[in-house]
Every structure is written in structure tokens, then in C-alpha cells.
């Protein structure tokens, strides 16, 4: 039996229960890992609250990323061995001291990447990678708006967009978060609770507006985000931190400049092993170069997952957060 956090009924952070669970030996194509760190992400709250349905129903163990050491390999697993340092993403069941993992989701950790750093960067970093490098290719000289610029994805995306030569504009909820965004590559910071961010974007860009807006906030920043886009610009809604965007009249896109809108998810940009490895390796490379840093700002004990969720949902965290078994 090992320590884990489970959800037996959907609801608020209080439904997260710290308990003992049985972890069986790995089956064909599986490995067992001892987790040194587990990632904490907003998507975890969606499964806990019922916004997203758990594929196998309840009870569920939340969490989609982690890092640790292989302790056993199942039949048919030939490229991993006991003792290997691995990380993973998009494999539900992360809030546990040990777990079974499909071997195809495991990624060998490069030298120099620690467990904490890996657990804090895989989901957020691969999300930033597909947003900036696959879905819409950010190029030098582009105006890019990134909402929640001091958040987990935002901190990485701002650094990466800066590295690509973009003019990076970020929205944040407080002056303190603004300083974090500036320290991580954001050229222009807007306090979206105090300022008309669409008007400020127009001012900052000299009326040219943005080629792309990346929005992980949702309801609170829509539809004003559309007013930040130049004709034929792209609005990328990749998260719902303030609540889901409600249905809207599609003719709004024509009226505001023949805009494009997409609601993507990482799973569809990493559905094949080739795509999965491609995103991971690009992330590993840019982190190894030192040009994109992964600040793990909050560390919680696994047993304190309820506190972690409360602070995450209250927008009280910055950068990446991890849980330690």
C-alpha cells in the first residue's frame, strides 16, 4: 500500500482525500515508478470538480504529470529498466507515491533535469511548445498577447515567445505578478483588473494589434480578447481558469476582422509517440540551453493537496507548483 490522493465524489478541494492505495505489479507494456514529485495543474481541478469526466469514473486519482524512478517493468518493455529516471505527462493518476504507467508515456529524463523541475514543467512546457510552435508558429516581430502571464504556462510561454523574437504583452492580476512576468520575458505588462486591456494592447502596438492571443483564463477575458487581434488574427482559448467561455454568435468573428478561434488541448498535439517525443525533446532542448527556465515556486506535501488546490484556484500561485510524496 502507498500514499495517494483520491476523489470519491466530485466537488471542491475538500473532496480530495489522502489515503492508502494498492499498486499492483506492472502488466504488459507497463512500468511501475516511485514518484519523487507530482505536477499540480489547473486541469486537475477540472477532473475534481466534474468539469471534465474521468475516463474510468470514480474514485479517481488526479494528476497528469510526475517524475521518478522505475522500480519494475512489465512484459514487452525493452527500452526501460529498473533505476531509470523518467517523467511523463497526460497519464491520469499522478497524485500517488507510486504508480503504474504505460511505458509509451514514459520519457527518460536528460542529465541535469531534476525530478522537481521535470514534474513542474512537462504539462505546462509541452503546452507552451505546441501553442507557440505547432498550433500557431510565433515569429520574430509578431505582437503576442499572453493572458495569466505569471501563471504556470504563462511564465514559460513568455520566455519562449521572447526567445522567438516576438513583442510579448502579458496580462496579470497584481503588480507583484507583473514583476514576475517581466522577469520572465514579458515586454509589456497589463493589470487586467485595473485597466482596459484591449485599449492598452492597441496603445502598445500602435494600433497594429496582435497576430495571436493565448488565453488560459476564459470567461473573464472574453470577448475583449477578440478586440486585441488584427484582421485574420487567431484567438487560442486553451484553459478556463475563470470559468468556461459561453456560447457566442459566430458572426462576431466576421465583424471583428475575419478572426480565427480554436479551443485546443495538448492531447491532440501529442497523440502519436512521434509527436509526444517531438514536443518533449524540444522542451528539454530549450530548457537545457538555459534560455527558458522552469521556476518551481510552490512545493506542497502530497497530503496537502487540498490546500494546493485552494491556492491554485484562488489565483494565489505563480509559476509551477509540485506535490511531493
pLDDT tens, position by position, 101-125: 999 999 999 998 999 999 999 999 9
Question: What's the rounded Cα separation, in Å, for the pair 65 and 315?
Answer: 21
pLDDT of residue 243: 87
Secondary structure class of 262 (helix, strand, coil): strand
Q: What is the per-residue pLDDT for 110? A: 94
Same-domain pairing of 21 and 96: yes
Residues 199 and 88 grouped into a single domain? no
Q: Can you give the pLDDT at residue 240? A: 87
What is d(CA 169, CA 144) in angstroms, rounded to the nearest whole number? 6
In this structure, the answer to whether residues 185 and 293 fall within a common structural domain is no
HSE, side-chain direction, 13 A CA sphere, residue 321? 27
Asked if residue 132 belongs to a domain, the reply is no
Residue 134 lies in a domain: no
Residue 282, helix vs strand vs coil = helix
Q: What pLDDT is attached to residue 312?
A: 93
145 shares its domain with 258: yes
Question: What pLDDT sits at residue 34?
Answer: 98
**Bridge partner list, 66:** 38, 88
Q: Give the pTM.
A: 0.92
| Residue 238: all three cell numbers together | 486553451
Q: Is residue 72 part of a domain?
A: yes
For the stretch 166-201, pLDDT in tens is 999 999 999 999 999 999 999 999 999 899 999 999
pLDDT of residue 6: 98
Residues 234 and 207 in one domain: yes
- At 302, list the grid cell: 502530497
Residue 112 and residue 144 in one domain: no
Total residue length of the chain: 325
202 and 281 inside one domain? no
State the pLDDT at residue 262: 97
Residue 129 falls inside a structural domain: no
What is the model's pLDDT at position 38? 97
Q: Tens digits of per-residue pLDDT, 300-317?
A: 999 999 999 999 999 888
**282 and 301 both lie in a single domain:** yes
Under a CB-based contact definition with an 8 Å cutoff, are residues 189 and 149 in contact? yes
Q: Does a structural domain hold residue 70?
A: yes
Residue 210, domain extent: 140-263
Phi–psi pair at 3, nearest 5 degrees: -75, 140
3-state class of 320 per DSSP? strand
Report how far apart, in Å, the C-alpha atoms of 243 and of each of 46, 115, 213, 215 are.
10, 31, 18, 12
In a domain, 108, yes or no: yes
**Of 79-83, 85-89, 208-212, 237-241, the least confident:** 237-241
Residue 102 and residue 201 in one domain: no
- Mean pLDDT of all residues in the chain? 96
Is the dihedral angle over the CA atoms 314, 130, 183, 201 positive or is it negative?
A: negative
C-beta atoms surrounding 141 within 10 Å: 10
What pLDDT sits at residue 244? 87
Q: Which of 243, 263, 283 is the last residue of a domain?
A: 263
Verify that 303 and 239 share a domain, yes or no.
no
**Total structural domains within the chain:** 2
Residue 307's φ and ψ, nearest 5 degrees, are -60, -45
Grid coordinates given for 206: 500602435
51 in the same domain as 84: yes
Do the domain assignments include residue 25? yes
- Look up the CATH number of the domain holding residue 40: 3.90.180.10
What span, in angstroms and rounded, lies between the C-alpha atoms of 39 and 121?
A: 8
pLDDT range class, residue 132, cuts 50, 70, 90: very high
Pick from 241, 263, 285: which residue ends a domain?
263
CATH number at residue 251: 3.40.50.720
Are residue 80 and residue 6 in the same domain, yes or no? yes
Residue recorded with cell 497526460: 90
CB neighbour list of residue 308: distance below 8 Å, 6 or more residues apart: 40, 298, 300, 321, 323
* Pairing of the two strands 320-324 and 30-40: antiparallel
Q: Is there a domain that residue 146 lies in?
A: yes
* Domain end call among 213, 234, 263: 263
Distance CA 270, CA 136 (A): 15
Cell numbers describing residue 253: 468573428
In angstroms, how far is CA 128 from the centroid of its own chain?
8
Amino acid at each position: 500500500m502507498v500514499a495517494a490522493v483520491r476523489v470519491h465524489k466530485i466537488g471542491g478541494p475538500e473532496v480530495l482525500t489522502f489515503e492508502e492505495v494498492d499498486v499492483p505489479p506492472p502488466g504488459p507494456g507497463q512500468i511501475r515508478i516511485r514518484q519523487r514529485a507530482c505536477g499540480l495543474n489547473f486541469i486537475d481541478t477540472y477532473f475534481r470538480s466534474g468539469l471534465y469526466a474521468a475516463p474510468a469514473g470514480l474514485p479517481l486519482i488526479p494528476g497528469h504529470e510526475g517524475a521518478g524512478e522505475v522500480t519494475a517493468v512489465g512484459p514487452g518493455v525493452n527500452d526501460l529498466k529498473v533505476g531509470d529516471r523518467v517523467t511523463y505527462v497526460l497519464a491520469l493518476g499522478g497524485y500517488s507515491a507510486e504508480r503504474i504507467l504505460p511505458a509509451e508515456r514514459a520519457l527518460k529524463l536528460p542529465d541535469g533535469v531534476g525530478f522537481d523541475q521535470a514534474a513542474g514543467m512537462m504539462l505546462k512546457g509541452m503546452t507552451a511548445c505546441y501553442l507557440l510552435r505547432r498550433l500557431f508558429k510565433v515569429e520574430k516581430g509578431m505582437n503576442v498577447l499572453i493572458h495569466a502571464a505569471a501563471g504556470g504556462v504563462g511564465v514559460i510561454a513568455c520566455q519562449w515567445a521572447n526567445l522567438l523574437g516576438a513583442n510579448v504583452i502579458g496580462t496579470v492580476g497584481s503588480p507583484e505578478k507583473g514583476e514576475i512576468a517581466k522577469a520572465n520575458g514579458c515586454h509589456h505588462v497589463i493589470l487586467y483588473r485595473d485597466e482596459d486591456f484591449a485599449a492598452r494592447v492597441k496603445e502598445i502596438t500602435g494600433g497594429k494589434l496582435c497576430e495571436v492571443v493565448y488565453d488560459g483564463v476564459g470567461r473573464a477575458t472574453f470577448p475583449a480578447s477578440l478586440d486585441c487581434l488584427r484582421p485574420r488574427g487567431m484567438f487560442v482559448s486553451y484553459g478556463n481558469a475563470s470559468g468556461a467561455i459561453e456560447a457566442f454568435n459566430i458572426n462576431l468573428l466576421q465583424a471583428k476582422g475575419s478572426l480565427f478561434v480554436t479551443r485546443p488541448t495538448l492531447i491532440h498535439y501529442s497523440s502519436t509517440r512521434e509527436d509526444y517525443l517531438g514536443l518533449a525533446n524540444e522542451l528539454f532542448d530549450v530548457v537545457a540551453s538555459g534560455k527558458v527556465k522552469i521556476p518551481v515556486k510552490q512545493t506542497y506535501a502530497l497530503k496537502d493537496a487540498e490546500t494546493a488546490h485552494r491556492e491554485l484556484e484562488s489565483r494565489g500561485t505563480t509559476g509551477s507548483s509540485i506535490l511531493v510524496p
